[in-house]
Each structure stands twice: as C-alpha cells, then as structure tokens.
Amino acid sequence: MVSVTEMQTMYEQMVTARYYEERLQEEYLVGKQPAFDISAGPIPGELHLAAGHESSGAGVCIHLRDDDTVTAPHRPHHIAIAKGVDLKKMTAEIFGRETGLCRGKGGHMHLFDPDVNFACSGIIAQGCPPAVGAAMAAKKRNTDSVAVAFLGEGAIDQGGFLESLNLAAVQDLPVVFVIEDNDWAISMPKDRVTDVEDGSRRAWGFDMPGERVDSDDAVAVYEAAEKAIMRARDGNGPSLIEVQVHRRMGHFMGDAEAYRPEADIERAKQRDSIERLADDLRAHGVEDDELDEIRERAHERVDEAIAWAKEQPEPDPSTAYENVFTNPPAQTATDGGANTSDASSDGDEGGDR
Amino acid sequence: MVSVTEMQTMYEQMVTARYYEERLQEEYLVGKQPAFDISAGPIPGELHLAAGHESSGAGVCIHLRDDDTVTAPHRPHHIAIAKGVDLKKMTAEIFGRETGLCRGKGGHMHLFDPDVNFACSGIIAQGCPPAVGAAMAAKKRNTDSVAVAFLGEGAIDQGGFLESLNLAAVQDLPVVFVIEDNDWAISMPKDRVTDVEDGSRRAWGFDMPGERVDSDDAVAVYEAAEKAIMRARDGNGPSLIEVQVHRRMGHFMGDAEAYRPEADIERAKQRDSIERLADDLRAHGVEDDELDEIRERAHERVDEAIAWAKEQPEPDPSTAYENVFTNPPAQTATDGGANTSDASSDGDEGGDR
Amino acid sequence: MATESRDYTEATETDRELTMSRAMVEAIAWEMRENEEVFYMGEDVADYGGIFSSTTGLLDEFGRDRVMDVPISETAYLGAAVGAAQAGMRPIAELMFVDFFGVAMDQIYNNMAKNTYMSGGSFSVPMVLTTAVGGTYNDAGQHSQTLYGTFAHLPGMKVVVPSTAYDAKGLMHSAIRDDDPVVYMFHKRLMGLGWMPSPPGPKTGVPEEDYTIPFGEADIKRHGSDVTVVTLGLHVHRALDAASQLEDDGIDAEVVDLRTLVPLDTETILDSVRKTGKLLVVDEDYQSFGVTGEIIARAAEGALDDLSAVKRLAIPDVPIPYARSLEDEVNPGTDDIAAAIRELHE
Amino acid sequence: MATESRDYTEATETDRELTMSRAMVEAIAWEMRENEEVFYMGEDVADYGGIFSSTTGLLDEFGRDRVMDVPISETAYLGAAVGAAQAGMRPIAELMFVDFFGVAMDQIYNNMAKNTYMSGGSFSVPMVLTTAVGGTYNDAGQHSQTLYGTFAHLPGMKVVVPSTAYDAKGLMHSAIRDDDPVVYMFHKRLMGLGWMPSPPGPKTGVPEEDYTIPFGEADIKRHGSDVTVVTLGLHVHRALDAASQLEDDGIDAEVVDLRTLVPLDTETILDSVRKTGKLLVVDEDYQSFGVTGEIIARAAEGALDDLSAVKRLAIPDVPIPYARSLEDEVNPGTDDIAAAIRELHE
Ligand SMILES: Cc1ncc(C[n+]2csc(CCOP(=O)(O)OP(=O)(O)O)c2C)c(N)n1
Ligand SMILES: Cc1ncc(C[n+]2csc(CCOP(=O)(O)OP(=O)(O)O)c2C)c(N)n1
Ligand SMILES: [Mg+2]
Ligand SMILES: [Mg+2]
C-alpha cells in the first residue's frame, strides 16, 4: 500500500517533470520565433515533451534503487527525473554543453547517467534488449537488482520489444516492461496499427503476466508496478505493464497536430494526473500549504538547473573526436580532424580515436 | 471434410517428398565419403532435409491454387513439392545447373518458382513479411488469392515473424502462418528458447486465431488448414497454425546429433505420418495395389527429375554477372568480371550489371 | 558514360520553382494516377503527409488504400513491400529516417536487393524505398546519418541521392518506373521544409510534365578546370558555394554531383580528373570504407597518371554528435571545402 | 605505426600446432577462467559447441550459466549483451553467420557501437561479437558473405579478422580484454573443421600461454620488393600461394595481412607501397564502397607519388551465387591473384 510520504514523493517528481518541461519549452522556442526553425536557438534538434505522462515515470521509479537499471525511449524526461538522474547535468546535456551528462554528444534523446543506471535512446523499442541484458547481469551476479524498460504503445509492434519479452520470459529475468499508452504514435492512433486495445495482452503469447492500468492515476500505477517489480526482485521473473497516459502536446515541438481531433486534445488535457494526485493527497489530509511547498521546491530546483546549464561552456570542437572508444587505438582510423584547418593544427585530438 | 481423392493426392505428395529426399541424400553424399566435406560432390553447401515434415506441406498446400503465394524456410522441399513447383527445374537448381529454377544462383535454400508463386529463403522468419505483402497485393487487387508463410518452431521468437502477425491482423490480410514444430532448432529444444509449449499462442497477443495440430496426421492438418485458408480467402483475415511434425534426421546433412537423446530420435522415427495416412487410406477402402501404384509413380517422377537434372549443363561462369538487376544500368557498377582473365576478355557480361 | 553536361542554371529556366519536397511528391502523384499498382506506405505518411513532407496531399487524392500508415514494424512492412513488388505491384515504402535501417536491414538487403539475382531473374522487385538522410540540425547520432556507403556497398539496390528539385522529380519518375529496387535518399535539409530552412540551391525550376533522369549519369553542376570536386546531396550546394568563393581568387573548381551511387558514373569522374588532375571528394557519410574511398579508388584505377593530388572530406569516423559546435566540426562545411580546394590547387 | 615485422613462419616455431578454431576457444576458455564476468551466448553454442566449433568444450567446463544457448532472437540477445556489458560484464555474443546481421543491426551499430560515444564516455561496452564469415563451400547468397566493409564503415566497433591460429588466439585475448566492442570475424574455411577442410596455412604453432596481439598492427606475412598485396582472412593464404607461384618467375610479392580493419594500420601499407610502387588489394567482400576502395584511397592520399599502379580483386558487386562454377568465378582465386600481380609487375 502506498504511503502518504510516497505519494508526496511521486507528487514532487511529477510537478518537477511538468515544470521542467514547461521551462524547457520556453528555452527551446528561443530563436525559433516567429518562424519555427528546428536548428535554431539554444536547444536545437527534436524535443519530445512528456506532459501527461508523469504518473508513469513516478509510479514506477519510486520502487527502484540506484542499482536498478532503467531504459527510456525518446520521451524520457519524466522518467529520468523520477529515476534520479542528475538534473543539472541532464539539462546541460539538453543545452549541448561540455559538462552535460554526455559532454554534449547525446542531447535530449540520449541521456546516459551511470550513477543511477539510466539510459534513453531514439529508436523505437531499442532500450528493451539492453534492459533484458542488465537483468541478465543481475541474475548472473546474484544480486537483487532489476531492470525496467519503458516504451510507447506505438512500440509494441516492433520486433525488438517482442523478442525481448520472450527472452526475458524463458530465462526468468528480473525485468519489467512498461508501455506508456498515450493513444498516439506521432499521427497514428493505436487502432490503426494494432487490433489489440490492451497492449499488455502482448505478454500472453509468451507466458508472461500482463496488466493494464486503465488511468493515469499515479497510485494505481504505483500498485501495479510494485507487484511487478517485487516479483522481479524476488526472482520470479518478468512482467509487462501498460499504463494509460495522455499526450498533452504535439509529438515533438513544432507538431501542429493537424491530424488530431480537437476533442481528443481536449480530453487529454482535462484528465491531469497531477491534479488527481493532489486531490488524493488532500484527501489524505495533506494541506495545500504543503503542496505549495513541494511545488515551490520543485520549481526552484528546475530553475536552478536550467540557470546552471545555460552558464556551462559549449564543448570545444576538438572533443568531437573523443570517446569513440574507451580504449582508443594508438593510431587514428582516419585522418579525421582535418575538416577544419584549426583542428588539424591541433595535434591532440587525433589520438583519441 | 477431406475426400479420399484428396487423401490420395496428399499421400502422393508425401511419398514424393520422402523419396525425393532419400534420393537427394544419396546424391549429396557422392564425393563426401569417406570424409564428409560439405563443399565436395555434385551437391555442395548445406542440405536441410524434411523427412518427418511431409504432412505439413501436403495438408496445407492441397488447399492452394497456383495464384496463391507460399514462402518456405530453409527446409523447403516437401512444401515446394506440395505447392507444385517444377520438380525437374527445382532439382537442377539443387544440382547447381544452368536450367535450374534460378539458373544455379539460389540452390536448395533459395528456390523461386514464379509459375506457382513459391519462394524459400535461408534466414529465420524471413519469408513472413513477403507473404504478408503478397496478401496485401491480393487484397488491394480484390482477388481471392491467399498467402501462406511456413516457419519452424524455432522461428517464433524472431521479430520479423511477430511483427508480421500484427501487420496481417490489423490489416485483415489473407495470410496464414504455419509453424512446423519439430521440437528442435538445430540443437536447441523448444523449452530452452521459449516458455510457450503451444506456438499458436503467439497469435493471442495480436487478436488473431491460433490453433495447434498436435500430431502430424495429414488429415488433421488438412482440416485446420482448410479452416484457416478459407477464412483468408473469404476476406476474414489471417490465422496462425502450429503443426507437430518430426525431424527424422539431423538438422542438416552432416549433423551427427550428438546433442539429441537417443530416445527422442527413436520417437521421431516411430511416428511416421506417411504410414499413418496409408493406414487411413486403407481404412477408406483403398487397396494396397493403388498405394503401390502411387508410390511407383512418385518414384518414377523423382528418378526422372534427378536423372534430368544431372544431365543439365553447369552455368557458364560469365552468367554470374547477370541478373543483379532486371533492368541493368547501361554501365557497370564496377569493373566486375575482371577476376579471371577469361571473363575480362569477354566483352558481354559487363553489360548486365 | 558521357553525362549530358547541363549547366547548373539551366534547370531553372522555367517559370515555376518548386521545393524538392513538392517536386518529389509531384512525381509520385503523377505515377499513382497513371498506374494503379503504385501505392505508398510508411509511418505517418497518410494524415501527416510524411514527417519530411514526402507525401503531402497524397492521402486526399488517393485515399487510405493507396497511402497507408503502417505499424512501427519496419521489418514487416518493408518486407511486405518486397512481397507486393514480387507480385507485380509497385510499392513505395518509406523508412522515416535512414538511421533506422538496422531494425529492418535483413528484408532490405537480403530480400529486396537479392531476390532478383537469387531467383536467376525469374522475380523482379520493382519497389522504391524512400528515406530521409542527413544532419545539420542537431538531432544527434541516431537521426543525422546519411549511410550512403552502407547502402551503396551491398549489391542489388540502385541508390539515388537528388540535390535539386529538378533532379528529385526526374529521379523519382525513373525510380518508380524502374523494374528494380531503388533506394531514394532525400536530404532533409534540401526538402524546403518550413521548419528546417533549405539553402537556396535545391529550389529550382521544375517542368510541369513528367520526365525521367537516367540512373548512372552524374551531373556537372559547375564546370571548372582547376580542381574536381565530387560530391552529392547537401554537399553539392556547399561545394558550389565554396567554388563561388574561390572564383575571385582565380580558382576554377568543377563540381560533379553524382546523383546516383549505384550505378556510379565513373566516366564523368575520370573525364573531370583527367582535365584537372586534382580530386576532392566530399561526403556526409562516415569517411572510412565508404563513398570517398571508392571515388578516390576509381580515380586511381582509371586515371592514376593524370592524378597529381587527392583529398577527401567526410564525417571523420565518429558518430554524429549533438551539440552544434560538435556537429559543425564533423560535418564538412563550405569553408572546409574551400580550404581543401585551395590546398589542392597550391 | 610500425608493425612488428614477423616472418610468416616464425609463429610455427613451437611444437604445438592448433587449428584456428582450437586457438580461438583456448583464448576464450582462458579468459573465462580468469574472469567470472566473461560469458558466451549464441545459438547452438552450448551442447553443439558452435556450428563452426567456436565454443567446443566450453559447456562442459563452464556450465549452462556461462555458455548459454539463446532463442533465435538476435535483436534481443545481442542487445542484451550490450546491456550486460554496460553493467560491467564481458559478454561474448555470437551471430552464427555474419549474413544474419540484418535482423539485429540496430542493436549492433546503434547501441553496441555508439553508446560509448553518445554517453560521452560515461558508459563502456566491453563485449565481443563473434561471427562466421566467408564463402567457398557453395552456401549461396545468404550464408557466404564476409561483409567486412559493412562493419568497418560504421564507427565505434573495432573489427578483427584473423588468418592464422596464432593470430586468432592473440586477437581473441585482446578482444576480450578490450574495453570496447570488438567484432571478431572468423572465416569458416580457416577454422580447421573436419567437414570443411582448411588450406594448410591457418594451422600454426600456438604458444600454450596467453598473449595478446595489439589491434591496428598489420602483419607482413611475406616480405617482397616488387608488388604489395594487401589482404585479409582467407585471401592471405591465397595471396601467399600466388606469391610462391610467382617466385620462380622472379616476381617478389609482399603480402600484408591487415588483421584488423578498425583500427587500420595505414602506415604499414604506405611503407610497403613506397617500397614497391605497386598495390594490389584483395578482398572477399563486395568490391564497391568497401575495403578495396579504402585501401587504395589511403595509398593515394599517403603515397600518390610513389604509386605507379593499383588494382583490386573482390566480389564484383553481385550477391554470392550458389553453383560452384559461379561462386568460383566471383571469389578471387589464387590464379586471379597471381595474374593480377603479374599484370602489375609488367
Ligand atoms: C524503428 C523506428 N521507427 C520509427 C521511428 C520514428 N518515431 C519516433 S517516435 C515515433 C512514435 C512513437 O510512438 P509511441 O511509441 O507510442 O511513443 P510516444 O511518442 O507516443 O510517446 C516514431 C514512429 C523511430 N524512432 N524508430
Ligand atoms: C536470423 C537467423 N538466425 C539463425 C539462423 C541459423 N539457423 C538456420 S536454421 C536454424 C534453426 C531453425 O529451427 P526451426 O525454425 O525450428 O526450423 P527447423 O530447422 O527445425 O525446421 C537456425 C538457428 C538463421 N538462418 N537465421
Ligand atoms: Mg504513443
Ligand atoms: Mg524446428
């Protein structure tokens, strides 16, 4: 059973995520107005915001420890925050700075934090096999760590996810798959791409338990996730969970959603899991003051992270040649670095290839 | 309900396939004794024989027309024969001859016969998506053709198969997937690679009907296939069937099966679907004479095909440069053909690249 | 193979200018009207009109049966395109970003590319695989590659990379009519999208009527006598800009736009190299074991004695990094090209 | 990078000769004994011992937990190897034939190869991907490729191709100890399988103790002064045979075995080319946009003035055909190599 403290923790993570993305959105639009240019401004590239998904990240990750692994998809911020990824370094990464989690090489879709075993990536269902592998390592090493792979409902048709279910099941691995069903895969509604309304049914064909949480009620997510994660931690094998969430915005920034019925947008906006959890907290006797305090703390933390990130230095161009390998070969694979006369006069960067 | 004539047809196809492979085995071993050398003799390369699988090819393909498409895996002969692939040209292909189905380019794992819309290939589950595509074409053209994809039970863990189930289901395509469960994927028993005993359960997760035929009784296969194929032909969508078959030999020629319990080999050899069907025919009043006649006719046809194939010319080396494209570009992509001085003095072959 | 040596400005001698995206779609729509067997499938190609506007308006004209959204199952639907093509239809199937090839490469290179050969020619696979390529907008290592070399290396696919609206339309007509599988790689930065501004070059005059551009004919986009620059896609425009910059200094660069990688127009390259003696190859793919190596090798094989200097610019064998300063560093820019030409000229 | 110039016969100066397969397995077993984090997974690697004897005997010694048969789900288990490696283990994962890469390429090139870079070095992926390559036994177009160029082109993977038992063992030790992903490509025809006889070359003397061979050091398998032959894998032996044949005619060929494609030992190639002035590159991969082009390009970049003639032999951009006469035609043979050397020498 969820405790009030846990509900407060989830609430804090959810409002952090929501406010974080509101702020990111502002920053993202800098330099992109009046005409939207994806490559302009301090945060270029695609940006997939998760407003409406927060209950999933919070309700699942609250059961996880730092030594548990999480892989997230292209819409990762709410999950990263709930998993405890360093917010400053994550923000610096999104701003493409040298002190970012990945030294500016990954960006918003590729946040890697080894301290809390978090990674996300940009290709559909791509994180499922590595999560299975983390679970395999835990089992081999006889620890009670678990792994969780998050994916969208659009990813349940992708081979890599389906293969992962089977591999996890046959080897009884401590891994939980969490489908975030926001009804849409970019412009494609779920019923255009699969006949199965309840994505957790995919588990049936592999003899794995599957359960759907039909609303984005963080407490309901908490309960389903608790069961699945404890099952995994106790060595009883994998599970599949589908969580109904909502996409409150376009697929990525700049998506005008011309394909999406007005009513559907309205519906997604009405049912806000954050408000619902606030009501639950109030029902449990938590005062509005306390909620305000949580929100303020969250906002402060976010503002601080963003302010910090913006002060960070841009990566030196020469660092582009670093990190291809952990153990760079003694010689370079190409004469890379010769693209600019600057770089080729710098004798150093060639070594790290 | 199956008619006696249909049972006779299936019987003929099954004994043709069995005898065909017995003869192939003999020919394959020429030049490979006493020491087995995969690259020696008139039939080099891998050879996967299907003894023990015959009921599946016969029981399914008897419902198919020439305009229906079949894709088969690496163990294709019994299916090809039941689908009506030209036996002489198929044999010539296996012998690597110029007049073979594929001009000697494909070999035993890559038999293509456009006249009966048959193709097979060497990578696990690879034929599933093209079968879905053939069904898509049939639906778009408003014909009542169907497609059938065969695969082994080891292939039900492969993403391409699982994705194909979903695509077929959501688009209601006229395609049937047939799993041949021979208990083994090379040296790996089914329970080592999946928790699901009945492979047809894979269909559940996609809202597709799945059915398992628990014995390699050709009549039982006939009935399950009839239902599925008629369903597809009538525009009611795809199905998945699993058929229990038996692997009476090693995975490929040269496989000593050291990994396989003696008892399992014995069990596979005892339960012969051909004998079972002969008994059924006898029970339906078919005389032994008639069965002998069918067998003789089958043997004659096989012997003739093999004799014919062995007389066929080897492909001229220069034909290696042909057929990369249907419309070869006016110029060559490389100076290919220069590998032998012979070829490079022949001005012709470069044109067809 | 002598290339029809068309001046770069010639294509613009028509009143109507189109973006590359509109030129592409015009050809597709024309072919769909002519031939009922042509259909288009991919993710977000129906209502959305293609993430990079590769199908804008097609759903309205042709309906859901011929402009099909499909599940995010690239193996299944690209393989289905192969099956439909072998049945005689003419599918166009879109892989949203070329970077995703890895989830479906088996169907692409083993079925689509090889079935014609392995069937001894008894089957054809008349399909077009369209896919968006390229970087420059900071989308990092899984959304910014071109992978030109990866596709050109494996036999059985024709590989097309247009750099202008004029070429895009003609090459698309050719691709759809071709009886073989064609990989049609369009560079996002050239499409003329509102949200990702193109340089001025790719928007050209485009005739209303249908026309084809034969595969295997490079196009000399700028004639010059001092240095040969062989390139393709986005970098055609960067090379042209670099060549303009150098004009004032009396350096006269020739810019060869390959247009198709398979078949490759070796003769046009050799003719140019024989004339200039100096070869620069510019590529947006990874440097080693790819396009730049192949072009230099062909020049060395065919014109070694005429060759006095070679050089290449490409992504220096690192994944494409996210941050602007890093991506700019690894993606050859106009200045990099100008500097390299200058160096060769010395 | 100067290569330690070891004579081809030197490695055989030990009493104990091993097949390449036994040498590989010996290194794997040694590392598994030393380090509990090393495990092996693949299809038919347990009871069967690997279709090409890549794991013979390992199940008996290490048990099912460390020598794991896995479902035919290459995406899942190769991706799982990445996950386990990122967690600090040292998985060796086998792709039975390299030809199957297409079903799992996304995990290979996007996760395995790129995660180190994209994480800015905060993660490492210390895994080995073992895979069987090559033709010569008539297994047709989906089971006979080497795909050397395909893997070497994409950044982030080290790519290793041993040609002898001595090299196979040392390179395997290096691969397992390396903190980066290594693609270890073993040629079926060199493994010394009872059912697929090897030429005599790959069976060499192999020290009992463990030893490493550094990546990025080509090995001159035969010293010569007239023509440089750069090659790898099976074709090292064909080139050596060709060189022997030509000895009587007074043609002295140098045979450079690349051993690793990434990193590539450009200096050894250049040194040799500077000496001989003539370069032949022999490859069992497809010709265009691959290994042969890259080697020629590096020679042209680094030693253009010394280069008087270049030539290459490779699979001429056709899928590998089945029939013996056809496969022999497209796979460069000893005679083809001898003829090419002779031609260059003239
Ligand atoms: C293999 C692959 N195919 C296509 C894409 C492009 N793509 C990115 S996100 C997306 C939609 C994903 O939908 P869903 O999984 O439901 O997640 P959501 O965006 O709704 O959170 C697609 C098609 C991709 N990244 N990878
Ligand atoms: C993607 C892929 N992985 C592995 C293989 C190697 N392989 C060929 S047949 C086979 C076993 C197939 O087992 P199953 O599907 O049960 O068919 P069976 O051989 O038993 O008829 C394997 C692993 C392959 N051809 N393709
Ligand atoms: Mg979604
Ligand atoms: Mg089987």
CA distance A171 to A301: 41
- Cα of A323 to nearest chain C Cα, Å: 9
What subunits make at least 3 CB pairs under 8 angstroms with D? Answer: A, B, C
**Quick check: B160 and C76 CB within 8 A?**
yes
Pick from A136-140, A332-336, C165-169, C238-242: least confident: A332-336
CB atoms within 10 A of CB B226: 17
- Residue A319: exposure state from Cβ atoms within 10 A (0-12, 13-18, ≥19): buried
Out of D143, D235, D237, D345, the active site residue is D143
> Any idea which residue has 């084809």 for tokens?
C212
A49 pLDDT higher than 60: yes
Residue C346 pLDDT? 87
Q: Is D143 designated active site?
A: yes
CA distance D346 to D342: 6
Atom of ligand 1 nearest to the CA of A185: 13
With vertex at residue D116, the alpha carbon angle to CA D115 and CA D119, rounded to the nearest 5 degrees, is 75
CATH classification at residue D72:
3.40.50.970
**Does the residue C193 lie in any domain?**
yes
Task: Using the CB atoms, write b or e for D64-97: b if 16+ within 10 Å.
Answer: eebbbbbbbbbbbbbbbbbbbbbbebbbbbbbbb
- The rounded Å distance from CA B184 to ligand 2 centre is 9
**Does the residue D2 lie in any domain?**
no
Atom of ligand 1 nearest to the CA of A251: 19
Cβ–Cβ contact A189 with C under 8 A: no
Active site residues of C: 143
Pick from A217-226, A266-275, B112-121, D219-228: least confident: A266-275
**Does the residue C1 lie in any domain?**
no
- Whether residues C129 and C45 fall in one domain: yes
**Does the residue C175 lie in any domain?**
yes
| Digit-coded pLDDT (tens) for B53-65 | 999 999 999 999 9
- Residue C59: exposure state from Cβ atoms within 10 A (0-12, 13-18, ≥19): buried
Strands D182-187 and D128-133, sheet pairing = parallel
Strands B112-113 and B118-120, sheet pairing = antiparallel
Surface of D (256-295) touching C: CB under 8 A: 261-262, 264, 286, 288-294
- Sequence-ordered list of residues with C-beta below 8 angstroms from that of D99, at least 6 positions apart, any chain: B123, C110, D142, D143, D144, D145, D147
**For residues A45 and C324, is the Cβ–Cβ distance under 8 A?**
no
Beta bridge partners of D63: none
Residue B319 pLDDT? 98
- The rounded Å distance from CA C114 to ligand 2 centre is 20
**Quick check: B46 and D329 CB within 8 A?**
no
Surface of D (51-70) touching C: CB under 8 A: none
Cβ–Cβ contact D99 with B under 8 A: yes
Surface of C (165-204) touching A: CB under 8 A: 194-197
- Whether residues C84 and C151 fall in one domain: yes
Residue D14 pLDDT? 61
Cβ–Cβ contact B137 with C under 8 A: yes
Q: Which of C339, C346, C279, C287 is nearest to C313 (CA)?
A: C287
**Does the residue D211 lie in any domain?**
no
- Whether residues C113 and C61 fall in one domain: yes
> Any idea which residue has 């596709």 for tokens?
C151
Note residues around ion ligand 4 (Cβ under 5 angstroms).
Answer: B 152-154, 182, 184-185
**Quick check: B105 and D317 CB within 8 A?**
no
Q: Which of A171, A164, A161 is nearest to A132 (CA)?
A: A164
Residue B329 pLDDT? 85
Grouping H, G, I as helix, E, B as strand and the rest as coil, residue A196 is coil
Question: Which of D205, D239, D258 corresponds to the end of one domain?
Answer: D205
Cβ–Cβ contact C118 with B under 8 A: yes
Residue A336 pLDDT? 40
D215 CB neighbours in chain A (<8 A) are 329
- Whether residues D62 and D182 fall in one domain: yes
C3 pLDDT higher than 90: no
C150 pLDDT higher than 60: yes
ipTM of the complex: 0.96
Q: Can the peptide bond before residue A34 be classed as cis, meaning omega within 30 degrees of 0?
A: yes
The ligand 2 site (C-beta within 6 Å) comprises: B 74-75, 122-124, 152-155, 180, 182, 184-186, 251; D 43, 72, 74, 96, 100, 103
> Which ligand number lies closest to the CA of residue B150?
2
Surface of A (94-123) touching C: CB under 8 A: 96-97, 102, 104-107, 109-110, 121-123
- Whether residues D32 and D152 fall in one domain: yes
| Mean predicted confidence (pLDDT) in B309-335 | 86
- Whether residues C136 and C25 fall in one domain: yes
- Please list the alpha-helical segments (H only) found in D63-129: 74-86, 105, 115-118
Report the mean per-residue pLDDT for chain C: 96
**Does the residue D3 lie in any domain?**
no
CA distance B223 to B58: 12
Task: Using the CB atoms, write b or e for D129-141: b if 16+ within 10 Å.
Answer: bbbbbbbbbbbbb
What pLDDT band is residue A1 in, cutting at 50, 70 and 90? Answer: confident
- The rounded Å distance from CA B154 to ligand 4 centre is 5
- Whether residues C56 and C196 fall in one domain: yes
Of the candidates C155, C312, C319, the beta carbon closest to that of D319 is on C155
> Which ligand number lies closest to the CA of residue D95?
2
Chain B interface disruption, residue of D326, D330, D334, D346, most B CBs within 10 A: D326
**Quick check: C117 and D264 CB within 8 A?**
no
What pLDDT band is residue B294 in, cutting at 50, 70 and 90? Answer: very high
Question: Which of C150, C183, C205 corresponds to the end of one domain?
Answer: C205
CATH classification at residue C332:
3.40.50.920
- Whether residues D199 and D304 fall in one domain: no
Residue D261 pLDDT? 98
- Sequence-ordered list of residues with C-beta below 8 angstroms from that of B331, at least 6 positions apart, any chain: C1, C216, C263, C265, C266, C267
**Quick check: A188 and C137 CB within 8 A?**
no
Cβ–Cβ contact A256 with C under 8 A: no
Residue B1 pLDDT? 87
Tokens standing for A76? 């990762």
Report the mean per-residue pLDDT for chain A: 93
A316 CB neighbours in chain C (<8 A) are 325
CA distance D159 to D149: 10
Q: Which of A124, A158, A162 to mutate to test the pocket of ligand 1 (most atoms within 8 A of CB)?
A: A124
Cβ–Cβ contact A172 with D under 8 A: no
| Mean predicted confidence (pLDDT) in A66-81 | 98
- Cα of A339 to nearest chain D Cα, Å: 15
- Whether residues D19 and D90 fall in one domain: yes
C280 pLDDT higher than 80: yes
Name the strand (E) or helix (H) holding B24: helix B4-29
CA distance A191 to C47: 15
- The rounded Å distance from CA D52 to ligand 2 centre is 15
Residue C7 pLDDT? 42
| Mean predicted confidence (pLDDT) in C259-280 | 98
Cβ–Cβ contact D5 with A under 8 A: no
Q: Which of A153, A173, A158, A162 is nearest to A228 (CA)?
A: A173
Question: Which of C205, C238, C263 corresponds to the end of one domain?
Answer: C205
Tell me which residue range forms the domain holding C95. 8-205
Residue B73 phi, psi dihedral angles, 5° rounding: -90, -155
Chain C interface disruption, residue of A153, A181, A339, A340, most C CBs within 10 A: A339
State what percent of residues in chain B have pLDDT above 90: 90
CA count, 13 A, side-chain hemisphere, D108: 32
Cβ–Cβ contact D212 with A under 8 A: no
Break chain B into its structural domains and give their ranges: 4-312
- Cα of A305 to nearest chain C Cα, Å: 18
| Digit-coded pLDDT (tens) for C70-86 | 999 999 999 999 999 99
Q: Which of B97, A94, A40 is nearest to D323 (CA)?
A: B97
C8 pLDDT higher than 70: no
| Digit-coded pLDDT (tens) for B150-175 | 999 999 999 999 999 999 999 999 99
Of the candidates C80, C86, C155, the beta carbon closest to that of B167 is on C80
Per-residue pLDDT of chain D (346 residues; tens, 9 = 90+): 333 334 444 444 567 999 999 999 999 999 999 999 999 999 999 999 999 999 999 999 999 999 999 999 999 999 999 999 999 999 999 999 999 999 999 999 999 999 999 999 999 999 999 999 999 999 999 999 999 999 999 999 999 999 999 999 999 999 999 999 999 999 999 999 999 999 999 999 999 999 999 999 999 999 999 999 999 999 999 999 999 999 999 999 999 999 999 999 999 999 999 999 999 999 999 999 999 999 999 999 999 999 999 999 999 999 999 999 999 999 999 999 999 999 999 8
| Digit-coded pLDDT (tens) for A278-329 | 999 999 999 999 999 999 999 999 999 999 999 999 999 999 999 999 998 8
Chain B interface disruption, residue of D101, D322, D343, most B CBs within 10 A: D322
Give the E-state strand segments of D14-89 in sequence order: 17-18, 38-42, 67-69
CATH 3.40.50.970 for domain B4-312, yes or no, is: yes
Give the CA-trace dihedral at A78, A82, A88, A89, to 10 degrees. -90
Task: Using the CB atoms, write b or e for D162-172: b if 16+ within 10 Å.
Answer: bbbbbbbbbbb
**Does the residue C186 lie in any domain?**
yes
What pLDDT band is residue A331 in, cutting at 50, 70 and 90? Answer: low
Report the number of distinct structural domains present in chain D: 2
| Digit-coded pLDDT (tens) for B99-147 | 999 999 999 999 999 999 999 999 999 999 999 999 999 999 999 999 9
Pick from A90-104, A320-334, C228-242: least confident: A320-334
With vertex at residue D34, the alpha carbon angle to CA D29 and CA D36, rounded to the nearest 5 degrees, is 90
| Digit-coded pLDDT (tens) for B232-271 | 999 999 999 999 999 999 999 999 999 999 999 998 888 7
**Residue A297 identity (one-letter amino acid):** R
- Whether residues D279 and D325 fall in one domain: yes
Residue A214 phi, psi dihedral angles, 5° rounding: -85, 0
Residue D9 pLDDT? 43
